[in-house]
Amino acid sequence: MAIVWPCPTSVDTYAALGRGVDVAMPDCPRCALPMGSWSGYWRTVREGVRDLRIFVPRARCSACRTTHALLPAFCFLRRLHDAATIAAVVEEVVGGPDGVRPAARRHGVVHETARGWVRRFRSRAGEIAAGFAALSVELGGEVVTPLADAGRYGLAAIRASFEVATTLPGWAVLGWSRFVAVVSGGALLSANTTSPYLVIGRRRFMPPVPDRDDENGGEHGP
């Protein structure tokens, strides 16, 4: 399993730290017990047109012996590109007047790759909208009015929940793409979801959980 943590640093800064990345060990999602550090693995993140190697630490629960990859919030599960690039392309295509091709070109992304992100977002837009609209309300924000276009409704729900999350400590600095990565457990663009948990501030929220599909950005894990 992977846990996406709210990493605030730039991809460059994170990459430069190599194995020296310092991640607070979360509690085991299953047992709620503290976990210990358990090695990690290297993977590639593509930011714009640059590939960076990053180290992803693992945590292990000594009670249930499960290990978890601690993925920084600028990554989605099994996506090579960084979250900001993916989010920008999806927002520009789903929320704007442009087609996929110009958005892909602007961000230096291969057309087919960008099209895959947009298709997946649209195919999951109903769930995404429902989840983030519920989060917005859970956090004390506004009720998001459904829109005829499911994709735009999904984006509106994400914006609304991010807006209210920014009133809680630590979230504004992340920007909405990393917020989405954390809340969805990195699985915004994954095919199937079930629900574990997430803590925002002191509140618990049920986000989607990872599955196994799509582009593989890592050699040994998500």
Minimum CB–partner distance for residue 21 and Zn ion (Å): 22
Minimum CB–partner distance for residue 210 and Zn ion (Å): 17
Q: Which is nearer to Zn ion, 1 or 88 (CB)?
A: 1
DSSP code for 78 = T
Bridge partners of 69? 2, 58
Q: Which is nearer to Zn ion, 64 or 110 (CB)?
A: 64
Minimum CB–partner distance for residue 193 and Zn ion (Å): 21
| Residues of the shown chain interacting with Zn ion in the complex, contacts defined by CB under 5 A | 28, 30-31, 61, 63-64
Q: At 39, which helix (H) or strand (E)?
A: strand 36-47
Residue with tokens 């919030």: 73
CA distance 140 to 167: 10
CB count within 10 Å of CB 134 equals 15
Backbone angles phi and psi of 195, in degrees to 5 = -125, 120
Helices within 41-169 (DSSP H only): 83-94, 100-106, 111-123, 125-138, 150-165
Minimum CB–partner distance for residue 2 and Zn ion (Å): 15
CA distance 34 to 28: 6
Q: Which is nearer to Zn ion, 28 or 189 (CB)?
A: 28
Q: Are 34 and 103 in contact (CB under 8 A)?
A: no
Minimum CB–partner distance for residue 66 and Zn ion (Å): 5
Residue with tokens 């990345």: 21
Minimum CB–partner distance for residue 34 and Zn ion (Å): 10
CA distance 12 to 47: 9
Q: Which is nearer to Zn ion, 27 or 211 (CB)?
A: 27
Q: Which is nearer to Zn ion, 24 or 143 (CB)?
A: 24
Q: Which is nearer to Zn ion, 57 or 154 (CB)?
A: 57
